[in-house]
């Protein structure tokens, strides 16, 4: 109360005009004792005094209301809290005092992918933190950012909420979500100081939650927008290379190549079989052409009546393979040139004699093909290519050097990224950069949603409370603490 009185005195002193020196130095005059007034005048004085007191009280109330409105009496806790959820896509949640989410900040590029779905962002903002963390975590799980079939996993959930139950409720909500989905994922819950949270969020240090929240609220939701803000053209280009080409584009294509490696190998294998049968047609002694001719040339120029029984069977087997290819990949190969179009994406990945073989088949002269055995071996080399090892060793630079070829592999199996053609337009401003980032982020979101759908939708039994408690106990027994468990998994 004494502090409040002193604060009010300070406020009144600040608004009261200073006393002039003439008034301040004037002598104090002692008035004579007034004569007793009549009853009527006395009553009037009392009324005046009462109304004066009421006026003073009203002024004090007005001042108190103004001070409260300007935040004079507002405690730091009234500003709410800040939380950080780390899965791999890390995100910051800002809440009011009751724990309702007021805004969100993606803290890395993967979080940008999760939040590129506007529906996820809509479901998070304005909702209780206990629901928002589940919405975000479920979206991240759908996109494959959690190993859902691992025997043990962990997420880190930190908050500046030191007194209320907001962080406890949210952490418990996450645990219930993992149990219901059948995911063995622990939640490392920790309370941190505002200063520590600033360090965790890479924000200028402060001890005031109000200052931290203001800094986060005034920044963009997407990480990509924050890293490009205020940059000049040269800096924008550097970010374009690092964030888009070496990060988002590489992550998108390398993830797809590794996810669909068996499909690519099957595509190459079927093309190799078509190639081998076409070579058999080409070199068969029953080929009705006077000069060596491929399957499509024979089919076009010669009627079946000219075929021997054995050669007709060979043509039918080749046709069956072409039908299979059309059924699997939606592409009808109707000519030698179309066959080459399907094959040419593999020329970069297979030994040189395969390239020479294709060139010979396409050449005006046929003198280049003199050895049938070499031709068969070349197609077998395509069928036996170890694409898994190639894709596992892929680097951003290697992808940049052969982007057309790698995209061609995906196109052959029906995955086409025509929208990514926009990435060849080098951005010159933050706005142009943001537009390109949106293209690749959306492509990455849709790709991951499809790739990891099977793993997410797989039927799993819910985890009971006792099973989950046993899992948590085994983790702490093995690692000593949840913090050690987090550090081990993070590394």
Q: pLDDT digit string (tens) for 243-287?
A: 999 999 999 999 999 999 999 999 999 999 999 999 899 889 999
Read off φ and ψ for residue 210, nearest 5 degrees: -60, -40
Cβ-Cβ contacts under 8 Å for 190 (sequence gap 6 or more): 156, 157, 158, 159, 483
Alpha-carbon distance 317 to 481, whole Å? 64
Same structural domain, 174 and 287: no
Q: Is residue 321 part of a domain?
A: yes
In a domain, 468, yes or no: no
pLDDT of 55 reads 52
Residue 281 CA to residue 480 CA, distance in Å, equals 69
Domain that holds residue 428: 233-260+391-448
What long-range pairs does 28-31 form, CB within 8 A, spacing at least 24? none
334 in any annotated domain: yes
For residue range 89-110, list pLDDT tens digits in order: 999 999 999 999 999 999 999 9
Look at residue 490 and tell me if it is in a domain. no
422/405 Cα distance (integer angstroms) = 17
State the pLDDT at residue 283. Answer: 87
- Give the torsion sign (CA, 70, 72, 74, 76): positive
Asked whether residue 346 falls in the same domain as residue 197, the answer is no
- Report the pLDDT value the prediction gives residue 225, as an integer from 0 to 100: 93
Quick one: 135 and 269 in the same domain?
no
Beta bridge partners of 186: 154
487 within some domain? no
* Average pLDDT score over the chain: 84
- Sorted by sequence, the CB contacts under 8 Å of residue 343 that are 6+ apart come out as 271, 275, 358, 382
CA dihedral of 329, 334, 340, 342, whole degrees rounded to 10:
-10
Same domain? For 364 and 409 the reply is no
Q: Are 85 and 217 found together in one domain?
A: yes
Task: Work out how many domains the chain is built from and give that number.
Answer: 3
Residue 43 lies in a domain: no
Domain limit, last residue, from 352, 383, 414: 383
Low-confidence ranges of the chain (pLDDT < 70): 1-77, 163, 351-371
Query: Looking at residue 45, what is its pLDDT?
Result: 54
Does pTM top 0.95 for this prediction?
A: no
């Amino acid at each position: 109360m004494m502090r409040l009185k002193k604060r009010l005195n300070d406020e009144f002193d600040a608004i009261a005009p200073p006393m002039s020196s003439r008034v301040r130095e004037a002598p104090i005059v002692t008035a004579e004792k007034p004569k007793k007034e009549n009853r009527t005048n006395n009553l009037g004085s009392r009324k005046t005094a009462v109304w004066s007191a009421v006026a003073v009280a009203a002024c004090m109330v007005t001042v108190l209301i103004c001070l409260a409105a300007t935040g004079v009496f507002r405690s730091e806790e009234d500003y709410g809290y800040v939380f950080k959820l780390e899965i791999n896509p890390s995100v910051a949640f800002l809440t009011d005092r009751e724990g309702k989410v007021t805004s969100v900040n993606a803290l890395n590029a993967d979080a940008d992918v999760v939040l590129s779905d506007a529906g996820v962002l809509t479901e998070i903002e304005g909702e209780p933190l206990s629901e928002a963390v589940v919405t975000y975590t479920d979206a991240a799980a759908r996109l494959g950012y959690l190993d859902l079939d691992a025997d043990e996993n962990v997420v880190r959930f930190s908050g500046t909420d030191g007194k209320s139950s907001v962080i406890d409720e949210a952490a418990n909500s996450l645990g219930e979500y993992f149990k219901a989905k059948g995911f063995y994922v622990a939640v490392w819950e920790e309370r941190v100081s505002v200063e520590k949270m600033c360090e965790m969020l890479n924000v200028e240090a402060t001890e005031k939650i109000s200052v931290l929240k203001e800094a986060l609220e005034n920044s963009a939701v997407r990480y990509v927008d924050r890293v490009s803000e205020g940059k000049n053209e040269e800096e924008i280009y550097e970010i374009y290379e690092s964030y888009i080409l070496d990060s988002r584009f590489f992550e998108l294509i390398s993830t797809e190549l590794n996810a669909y490696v068996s499909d690519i190998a099957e595509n190459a294998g079927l093309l190799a079989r078509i190639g081998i049968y076409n070579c058999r047609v080409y070199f068969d002694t029953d080929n009705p052409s006077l000069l060596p001719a491929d399957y499509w040339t024979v089919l076009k120029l010669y009627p079946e009546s000219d075929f021997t029984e054995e050669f007709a069977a060979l043509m039918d087997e080749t046709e069956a393979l072409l039908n299979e290819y059309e059924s699997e990949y939606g592409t009808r190969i109707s000519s030698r040139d179309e066959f080459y179009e399907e094959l040419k994406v593999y020329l970069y990945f297979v030994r040189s004699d395969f390239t020479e073989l294709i060139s010979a088949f396409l050449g005006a002269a046929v003198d280049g093909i003199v050895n049938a055995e070499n031709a068969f071996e070349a197609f077998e080399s395509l069928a036996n290519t170890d694409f898994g090892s190639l894709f596992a060793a892929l680097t951003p630079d290697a992808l940049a050097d052969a982007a057309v070829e790698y995209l061609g592999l995906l196109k052959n199996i029906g995955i086409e990224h025509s929208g990514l053609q926009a990435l060849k337009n080098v951005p010159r401003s933050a706005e142009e950069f943001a537009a390109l980032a949106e293209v690749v982020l959306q492509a990455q979101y849709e790709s991951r949603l499809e790739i990891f759908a099977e793993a997410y939708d797989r039927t799993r039994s819910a985890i009971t409370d006792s099973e989950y408690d046993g899992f948590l106990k085994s983790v702490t027994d093995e690692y000593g603490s949840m913090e050690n468990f987090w550090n081990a998994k993070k590394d």
